[in-house]
Amino acid sequence: MDVAAYIQDNKAEFFADLKEWLAIPSISGHPGHTEDVRRSAHWLSEYLRTMGFPTVEVWETRGLPAVFAEWPAADPDAPAVVVYGHHDVQPVEPLDEWETDPFTPVEKGDQLIARGASDDKGQVFFHTLGLRALLAATGATAPPVTIKLLVEGEEESGSVHFAELLREHRDRLACDAVVISDTTMWSADVPSICTGMRGLTEAEVSLYGPDTDLHSGSFGGAVPNPLHALAELLAALHDDDGRVTLPGFYDDVVPITDEERELFARLPFDEDAWLRTAGNSRAAYGEKGYTTLERVWARPTAEVNGMWGGHTGPGGKTIIPREAHAKISFRLVANQEPRKVQEAFRAWVADNTPPGIRAEVKIPGGGVRPCFSPIDSPGVQAARRAMERAFGKPVLFTREGGSGPEADLADILEAPLVFLAVGLDDDRIHAPNEKVEMPLLLKGAEASAYLWEELATALR
């Protein structure tokens, strides 16, 4: 019996089990559901134990628990792979917009409707079916790579203890690649693989002028105004081509290759529809020489997220304010280092502060490194072959504009990321009536089965 046939034969049981898991309201962001998140972790660990994982543990954190399960390859020299997903889910408000109860999973045609169906229980669960199919099809008692499943319980509340968890268990999580199943593909018709996520670093700049707000009648026109200085500073952060002006900002950026551009360009992208999803933005705008997808996926940015100073209440107050502030964030792409960008920003602010104004830059934390696995890297090529075998058609490539815990995984475990996901952008994750396309989950299971075979040779 081959992998695809096994999956078809066992899909009813697979969806029945998944529904049982989905019925547990493991909302990590809601204190009233703490016990449900624990129940969810225990349900999953019981399931994994029953299906044959030799090691299954519930890993406690200072918050909510993760599940760790390991199934070693028969060959001790086989590569090891961490598979990341999460078992907690988003809150369900507004409840009255759900057509069915969020925790009573319902099938409707090809769709399975429940909170967590796509994000992320469904996508975690397809790996169990895939592995069972692979073992059944090959008659083996162990996978061709060591599989270390790590299923977090706090992703929907910011993964606040996740980096700590990774550091604590770094030795046991040692691996040659990290497979991430918590994203989407381009569309049901266009299977695709994500190859990178932008990093992030943030800064807050404060400009100080006089010790107190000054009367603009008595002093206006003769002393520097911190709001003018801030406007000039922020306006100077980009040039006329929409490029960031920090010296050296682009030095470490891996240029987008002709191949990747060409593959991005094959994606059926409707810019007007995209602008509608961008809060009905009226125009695309960004760095000259790049398309919209290239801009959000493969190019770094400087974005002013907030700005304030002086009188902001109702009515007028004719002052020269004592201070002005802005919050700025930089999205980074490989191989930019957050620390280097932070230093460049500090230096640039100091160089661009006019006489009479004192500047202060605060940088909260070390930032998030970008992660990127080039299309021609072994892990991505293995995932491409696995997806093409499952879907029977060419696979395209995407990236993501932001990142969550994935950056910590790449950073702390020092392993390349490989994205395998079958969610869709219209799955209504984080919204009422979340759904998953059941045929895609089965394709995900099939691709998962093939991925272990492909990685076994690709990573050796």
Give the footprint of its own copies on residues 380-439 (CB under 8 A): 400-403
- Binding status of residue 230 toward its own copies by CB under 8 A: yes
Q: Which of residues 143-162 bind its own copies (CB under 8 A)?
A: none
Task: Quote the CA–CA distance of 158 and 88 in Å, as a whole number.
Answer: 11
- Binding status of residue 245 toward its own copies by CB under 8 A: no
Q: Which amino acid is at 157?
A: S
Q: Select 407 or 413, whichever has its Cβ closest to its own copies.
A: 407
Which segment (64-72, 168-176, 285-293, 414-422) binds its own copies by CB under 8 A?
285-293
- Binding status of residue 366 toward its own copies by CB under 8 A: no
**Exposed e or buried b per residue across 152-161, where buried means at least 16 C-beta atoms within 10 angstroms of its C-beta:** bbbbbbebeb
- Binding status of residue 358 toward its own copies by CB under 8 A: yes
Which segment (154-162, 219-227, 413-421, 433-441) binds its own copies by CB under 8 A?
219-227
Task: Quote the CA–CA distance of 147 and 175 in Å, as a whole number.
Answer: 9
User: Of these, 32, 141, 270, 283, which contacts its own copies (CB under 8 A)?
Assistant: 283
- Binding status of residue 287 toward its own copies by CB under 8 A: yes
User: Of these, 1, 140, 278, 350, which contacts its own copies (CB under 8 A)?
Assistant: 278
- Binding status of residue 248 toward its own copies by CB under 8 A: no
Q: Which of residues 179-218 bind its own copies (CB under 8 A)?
A: 198, 200, 202, 209-218
- For the chain, the first-to-last Cα distance in angstroms comes to 27
Q: Select 140 or 284, whichever has its Cβ closest to its own copies.
A: 284
Phi-psi region of 181 (alpha: psi -120 to 50; beta: other; left: phi over 0): beta
Q: Select 12 or 222, whichever has its Cβ closest to its own copies.
A: 222
In Å, how far are 115, 233, 335 from 246, measured between CA atoms? Answer: 43, 11, 16
User: Of these, 300, 338, 379, 405, which contacts its own copies (CB under 8 A)?
Assistant: 300
In Å, how far are 202, 304, 347, 352 from 359, measured between CA atoms? Answer: 16, 17, 11, 9
Least spacing, CB of residue 196 vs its own copies, in Å: 12
User: Of these, 227, 371, 417, 456, which contacts its own copies (CB under 8 A)?
Assistant: 227
Q: Select 76 or 355, whichever has its Cβ closest to its own copies.
A: 355
Least spacing, CB of residue 243 vs its own copies, in Å: 11
Task: Quote the CA–CA distance of 449 and 455 in Å, as a whole number.
Answer: 10
Which segment (41-49, 80-88, 295-303, 432-440) binds its own copies by CB under 8 A?
295-303
- Size of residue set near its own copies by CB under 8 A: 82
- Binding status of residue 31 toward its own copies by CB under 8 A: no
User: Of these, 31, 76, 241, 282, which contacts its own copies (CB under 8 A)?
Assistant: 282
Which residues, listed in sequence order, are joined to residue 215 by a DSSP beta bridge? 319
**349 phi/psi in degrees, rounded to 5:** -60, -45
User: Of these, 29, 52, 286, 432, which contacts its own copies (CB under 8 A)?
Assistant: 286
Which segment (14-22, 128-136, 327-335, 339-347) binds its own copies by CB under 8 A?
327-335
**286 phi/psi in degrees, rounded to 5:** 175, -160
Task: Quote the CA–CA distance of 43 and 40 in Å, as a whole number.
Answer: 5
In Å, how far are 92, 129, 369, 385, 425 from 436, measured between CA atoms? Answer: 16, 16, 31, 23, 10
Q: Which of residues 36-95 bind its own copies (CB under 8 A)?
A: none
Which structure tokens are listed for 147? Answer: 């599989």
For residues 117 and 430, is the Cβ–Cβ distance under 8 A?
no
Least spacing, CB of residue 124 vs its own copies, in Å: 23
Of the candidates 101, 130, 129, the one whose C-alpha atom is nearest the C-alpha of residue 116 is 101
Task: Quote the CA–CA distance of 208 and 225 in Å, as a whole number.
Answer: 9
User: Of these, 32, 62, 76, 280, which contacts its own copies (CB under 8 A)?
Assistant: 280
Least spacing, CB of residue 339 vs its own copies, in Å: 17
